[in-house]
Amino acid sequence: METFDWKNLPFGYVKTDHNLRCFYKDGKWGELIVSESEYIDRHIAATGLHYGQEAFEGLKAYMGKDGKIRLFRWEENAKRLVSSAKGILMAEFPVEKFKEAVFRVVQLNKRFIPPYGSGATLYIRPLLYGSGAEVGVKPASEYVFIVFVTPVGPYFKGGVKPVNMMISRDYDRAAPKGTGIYKVGGNYAASLRAGIEAKEKGYSSSIFLDAREKKYIDECGPANFFGIKNNTYITPRSESILNSITNMSLIDVAQSLGIKAERRQVPLEELSEFTEAGACGTAAVISPIGKIFDPDTNRVYEYCKDGNPGPVTMKLYNKLTAIQYGDEPDEFGWISIVD
C-alpha cells in the first residue's frame, strides 16, 4: 500500500500506476489496453474537442475492515454511460466491457486504495469521447474509452458537516429536453460560472432551479437535492437532472428504515417546510445543507440550527456508508468484491 497522508488527501488527481484504454474503430471496440502514461494522443479535429462528444462516470472502490475491496453498484454507472452515449450519439461502451475495465484498473492499482477507517477512497473515472476527425457538426466514427483511478481524501475532514448553498437564477446548467439527464462534459462547463460565483460569495455550491419556470428545485451543483419533512424523503423529479445512483440508493435505504420516499417536483417555497435538506452524490454520499440563501428575495432557509446534520440525514448516511464499506450486510445486493 502506498503511504499517503490519507486523511488529508484532497479530492484531486494523484498519479497512479496504470490506466486502461479501449478504441472503437470500423464499427467495433478493440481489446482493453493497459497504459502507464497519463497522456493521450488526439486528432486535432476530434469531435470530443470541438463538439462536446464526451461523457464520463464516477464511482469508488472502498477498502473494508475485512481487507476486501468493494465496488458500489458499478452496473448502474455502466448503464448510465450507455445512456449518455446514446444521448449524444457516441458508440456505446458495452456493460460487460465496462465491468472488465473497472475491475482490472482497480486490481492494477491496489496499492493506491486507501485503508479502512481513513475516510479516503479510490475514485474511479471512466470516460468516453469522440476521437474521429470531423469538421462538420456530426457524430464521429471513432471513439476512445479510458478509465483511470485516483485516491481521494475524505470529503468531510473531521466528520460530516453542514454546508451552505445559494440559489442560482442567473445561470442554468441544463434545459428540459437538453442534455441534463446525461453525464456529458458540456453540462459541467455550463455549471462552472454558477459554481464559482457561489464560492466567491462564500457558499459551497449553487442550487439550480428548473430552467423553464424557475419554480422548482433541480440540482445542487454536481449533486441531487433532497429535503425531509414528516418522516418523508423528498427529491426532485425533473427532465434536466442526472439520475444520481446515490439518490436512487438513499430512496431504497429510506424505505427500508421506515422513512417514506417521494420523487416529484419540489417547488421552491417548499424549502421552508423541510426540517432537513441535503445534497447527495458519490463524492460526499450526503452533504447536509445548513442554510440556503435566495439572493432574489434575501430569504435564508435554515436547517441545521445547532450546527449538526439532522437525525434522518445521519441515519441515511450511516446506513449507506456502512453498506459501502461492508460494515453492514449488503441487503440490497449492491456490492461487488474485487479479488
**Cell digits of residue 15:** 498519479
C-alpha distances (whole Å) from 100 to each of 39, 113, 260 are 22, 18, 37
Is there a contact between 130 and 140 (Cβ–Cβ < 8 Å)? yes
Per CB under 6 A, 284 contacts ligand PLP: no
Per CB under 6 A, 218 contacts ligand PLP: no
> By CB neighbour count within 10 A (0-12 exposed, 13-18 middle, 19+ buried), where does 28 fall?
exposed
Three-state secondary structure call for residue 110 = helix
Query: How many Cβ atoms are within 10 Å of 333's Cβ, its own excluded?
Result: 7
Least distance between ligand PLP and beta carbon 175 (Å): 14
Query: How many Cβ atoms are within 10 Å of 34's Cβ, its own excluded?
Result: 12
Least distance between ligand PLP and beta carbon 64 (Å): 20
Location of C-alpha cell 481521494 = 152
Q: Which of 14, 49, 50, 58 binds ligand PLP (CB under 6 A)?
A: 58
Strands 19-25 and 33-35 come out as antiparallel
What does the DSSP assignment read for 150-165?
Answer: EEE--SSTTS---EEE
How many residues interact with ligand PLP (rule CB under 6 A)? Answer: 12
Site string for ligand PLP, 162-201 (x = CB under 6 A): ----------------------------------------
Nearer to ligand PLP, 140 or 160 (CB): 160
**Cell digits of residue 79:** 448503464
Three-state secondary structure call for residue 189 = helix
Piece of the chain touching ligand PLP by CB under 6 A; list 210-218, 221-229, 256-264, 289-297: 221-229
Nearer to ligand PLP, 102 or 245 (CB): 245
CA distance 150 to 168: 31
Per CB under 6 A, 210 contacts ligand PLP: no
Nearer to ligand PLP, 141 or 243 (CB): 243
Q: How many residues are listed for the chain in this entry?
A: 339
Per CB under 6 A, 278 contacts ligand PLP: no
15 Cβ partners below 8 Å, 6+ apart?
Answer: 38, 150
Binding to ligand PLP (CB under 6 A) within 84-113 occurs at none
Given 68, 183, 291, 305, which residue is catalytic? 183
> Is the CA virtual torsion 182, 184, 190, 194 positive or negative?
positive
Least distance between ligand PLP and beta carbon 56 (Å): 9
Site string for ligand PLP, 18-57 (x = CB under 6 A): ----------------------------------------
Site string for ligand PLP, 224-263 (x = CB under 6 A): x-----------------x-xxxx----------------
Query: How many Cβ atoms are within 10 Å of 273's Cβ, its own excluded?
Result: 12
Least distance between ligand PLP and beta carbon 60 (Å): 9
Q: Is 157 a catalytic residue?
A: no
Is there a contact between 193 and 169 (Cβ–Cβ < 8 Å)? no
Piece of the chain touching ligand PLP by CB under 6 A; list 109-117, 139-147, 219-227, 253-261: 219-227
Is there a contact between 215 and 209 (Cβ–Cβ < 8 Å)? yes
Least distance between ligand PLP and beta carbon 58 (Å): 5
Q: Which of 282, 287, 313, 324 binds ligand PLP (CB under 6 A)?
A: 282
Provide the binding-site residues for ligand PLP, judged by CB under 6 A.
Answer: 58, 219, 222-224, 242, 244-247, 281-282
Report the catalytic residues.
183
